Structure 1
Amino acid sequence: MQLIDIGVNLTNPAFDEQHAELLRRATEAGVAQMIITGTSADVSEQAIELAERLDPAGQVLFSTAGVHPHDAKAWDADIRRRIEALLRHERVRAVGECGLDFNRDFSPRPQQERALEEQLALAAEHRLPVFLHERDAAARLLPILREWRDRLPAAVVHCFTAGRDELFGYLDLDLHIGITGWICDERRGSHLHPLVGSIPRGRLMLESDAPWLLPRTLRPKPKNGRNEPAFLTEVLREVARHRGESEAELAAHTSACAKAFFTLPEAPASLG
C-alpha cells in the first residue's frame, strides 16, 4: 500500500536538520511520494533545492511554486518573473499555493485577488494544475475560478475545511479536493465526516500539511506536537472510515489520482 502526500511544508524550520529521518519514517509508513508546498518565491526556490538534494533521482520529492494569499501583498512584477521561471523546473508540478484567505486577511483582499488571477494566468499559459488555498472566501473564489476553469488543466482545493455548499460548488467546476488531518479534529472537523463520501473517486487526494494539523486521533501523539508525512496514515484511516472503504482501497485510488494530477513517475520501493 502506497500513499502520496500532496502537501507537506518541508521547508518549515521545524524540520531543519531532520529531513533524512522524516523521509525514512514516511517511507516506512508507506508514503512513497510527497509534494513540497511553495508559499512564496523564496520558499518555492527552497522547495526545489530540498527536492533535488534529498531525492537526486527525482522519484520521490516534487514541489509547487507560487505565492500564498498571506504573502499576496508582496506580489509584483519581479515576484511574478521569479515564479514563472520556477514553473519551468522539472520538479515543479503545480502553481501555488495560491488563493484567497478572508479569515486572517494578512494581505488586503484586492491584492489577494490580483496575485491569484496572475497565478491562474501562469497556470493556464504553462498548462500546469493549480494548488489552491481557500478559507472563508469561497463566495469570491468560486466566481473567479468559473472565469478561468476552461483554461486550466486541473485544480485542487487543498486542505478543504468548508461545508456542503462549497464542496459541491468546487465539484461542479470539476475541481479536486485535498483532505488533511482537519477531519480528525472532533472540535472543528466533524462536519467533514458525512461530506467526504460525496467526493468522487478520481477527485480526492490526501495530504498532511505538515508540520501543521497533527491528527488529533493519532495515538500515541508525538511529544513535540508536530505533524509529519508518516502520520498521513491516520488521515487515511479516518477518511476510509467515513467513506465506507478499506484503507487499501482508498490508498489506491487517491494515489492514482495524485499521480495523474501531478504527472508523477512510478515511485521507488524506498528512498534509498
Structure 2
Amino acid sequence: MANVEKMIAETFLEMAQGLESGSYGKRPKIALTGMGSEHGEENAMEAALMAAKDGVDVYYIGSLEAEGVTTVKVADDEEGHKKMEEMLANGEVDGAVTMHFPFPIGVSTVGRVVTPAKGREMFVANTTGTSSADRIEGMIKNTIYGIIAAKTCGIANPTVGILNVDGARQTEKALKELQEHGYDITFAESARADGGCVMRGNDVLQGTPDIMVTDSLTGNIMVKMLSSAATGGSFEATGYGYGPGIGEGYEQLVMIVSRASGAPVIAGAIRYAAQLVRNKVFEVAKAEFAAAKKAGLK
C-alpha cells in the first residue's frame, strides 16, 4: 500500500513540475561540476538555474547554493570530479557536465553549435577525445557517433558532411562503401557550386549538414570559434558545448564544456544531456552500431 501511495505522490509531483516547466515525464538528473571556470563559480551556478527551469534536476557540485538546485558541497575541483564520478557510478545522476574528463581511446565527444549565417544548429563530430589512433578510422567512427547524437536529439534522418581536412576523401570513400552495403546514411550537398559531401568553410558558417565530420582537434577549434565569435574569444556565448562522450559499449553520459564556456553554453550542455537521457541515447547507440557493423564497419 505504501508503495502505491508513493507512486501516486511521485506521479502528481511530476505533473506539477511539468505544468511549471512545460516538460513532462521523469526529470533527468544531471550533475554539474562548478569549479575551475575562467568566469568563476557564479557563472556555473547561473547555468544550473537556467537549466533547472527547463525540467532538469541539476545537482551542482561546488560551494555555492541556490533555490531550485541541489548543491553537493566540495572543497575544490579535484574533490568535485571525484564526487561526480561517484554519483555517476552509483546511479545518483543520469549524466554530468564537466570541464575535463579522461575518456578512454575509442570514445570521443559530439559537439553541438549554432552556426552564424542562418542560425542553424549543427553537430560537430568530434570535438574532444580519440575515436581511434588511425585518422581515417577515427573520422569514420566520428560519423557514427555524430549520427547517434543527432538521432537521439530528434533528427530522424540527419545529413552528413565531411569537412575538407586531411583524410576527407578517404573517409568519404569508406562511408559510401558502408552505404552501398546497407548502412542508412544521407550525405549533405555543399552549398558551393561544385556540390559534393566534402564541406568547405562556407558550409561551416551556414550549417549546411546536420553533422559536420572532422578530426577532434579541428572540431574542438571549430566549436570554440563558433561559440565565442561575437565575444572576442574569451567567453563562449552560444551553442551546447563539446558534447557527450560516445563510443561502442560506453554507457556513461559525460558532457564536456570548457573553462571559457559562459552560462548560456553550460546551460545548453545540461539541456543537451537531458535530451539524450529522455530519448535513451545508449539504446540508439546500440542500434546504430549494430547497423553499421552489419554493413561492414570494423
How does the TM-score come out when normalised to structure 1? Answer: 0.30
For the pair shown, the structure with the greater C-alpha radius of gyration is 2
TM-score, normalised via structure 2 length: 0.28
